[in-house]
């Protein structure tokens, strides 16, 4: 059966990894990329065919699948919901070199990179990213459009709030929760609950300051 066409939204570094995952999977063919930068012409040989305003026309041309490959969580969620509203099905990009439990629940528009591990009864919501060599153990929840950075390790029952960002090498002990929109700095070790909307880092992770409405 021939691969179904898919549009990748975003032409940056994250998109490069996603495009390779999609190609590795073989189920979809990247027929075009959309990017806000009009100077972009191609990414890994895939043509940049316009910006997001091209979505309705591409859907009218019969393309049904899209993937949002934008690393910024808020932007990925906004653009993802826009693509859904334009009638696209948001496919997942899951590496063949990832290990995903059969009892895990995976939403739409999810990226699971090479070496990632998703253990029993975990739940990864729409537009979440589980990056390279990151592991989440049993009963974890990755909220909508959250990001778990490369090499992170979440023990059992860790809850990551929607839009939260966990930097590279984040560790989290069993059962802790990380609040909506919070940013956990690289190498942090989360040993107690982190409230929503804050920057935290260190081992053990300490709340450094609140974030503004844009998550900065």
Q: Is 39 in the site for ligand JB3 (CB under 6 A)?
A: no
Query: What distances in angstroms separate CA 93 from CA 9, 103, 108, 110, 189, one per listed residue?
Result: 13, 18, 9, 6, 28
Closer by beta carbon to ligand JB3, 95 or else 131: 131
* Of 32, 80, 109, 150, the one binding ligand JB3 by CB under 6 A: 150
* Of 21, 79, 93, 200, the one binding ligand JB3 by CB under 6 A: 79
Question: Rounded to the nearest whole angstrom, what is the least distance from the CB of residue 50 to ligand JB3 in the complex?
Answer: 9
Catalytic residues: 138
Q: Is 11 in the site for ligand JB3 (CB under 6 A)?
A: yes
Question: Rounded to the nearest whole angstrom, what is the least distance from the CB of residue 169 to ligand JB3 in the complex?
Answer: 11
User: End-to-end CA distance of the chain, in Å?
Assistant: 46
Under rule CB under 6 A, how many of the chain's residues touch ligand JB3?
Answer: 20
Q: Is the CB of residue 128 less than 8 Å from the CB of residue 145?
A: yes
* Of 3, 20, 25, 52, the one binding ligand JB3 by CB under 6 A: 52
How many CB atoms within 10 Å of residue 175? 13
The residue count of the chain comes to 216
Binding site for ligand JB3 (CB under 6 A): 9-15, 34-37, 51-52, 70-72, 75, 79, 131, 150
């Amino acid at each position: 059966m021939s691969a179904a066409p898919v549009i990748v939204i975003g032409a940056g570094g994250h998109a490069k990894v996603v495009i390779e995952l999609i190609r590795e999977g073989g189920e979809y063919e990247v027929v075009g990329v959309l990017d806000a930068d009009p100077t972009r012409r191609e990414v890994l040989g895939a043509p940049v065919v316009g910006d997001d305003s091209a979505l309705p026309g591409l859907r009218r041309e019969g393309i049904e699948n899209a993937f949002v490959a934008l690393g910024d969580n808020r932007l990925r969620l906004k653009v993802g919901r826009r693509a859904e509203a334009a009638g696209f099905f948001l496919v997942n990009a899951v590496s063949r070199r990832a290990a995903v439990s059969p009892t895990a629940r995976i939403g739409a528009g999810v990226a699971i990179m090479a070496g990632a591990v998703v253990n029993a009864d975990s739940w990864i919501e729409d537009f979440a990213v589980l990056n390279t060599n990151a592991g989440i153990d049993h009963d974890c929840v990755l909220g909508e459009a959250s990001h778990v950075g490369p090499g992170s390790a979440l023990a059992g029952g860790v809850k990551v709030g929607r839009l939260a960002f966990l930097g590279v090498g984040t560790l989290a002990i069993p059962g802790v929760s990380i609040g909506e929109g919070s940013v956990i700095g690289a190498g942090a070790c989360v040993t107690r609950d982190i409230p929503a909307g804050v920057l935290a880092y260190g081992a053990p992770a300490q709340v450094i300051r609140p974030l503004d409405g844009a998550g900065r």
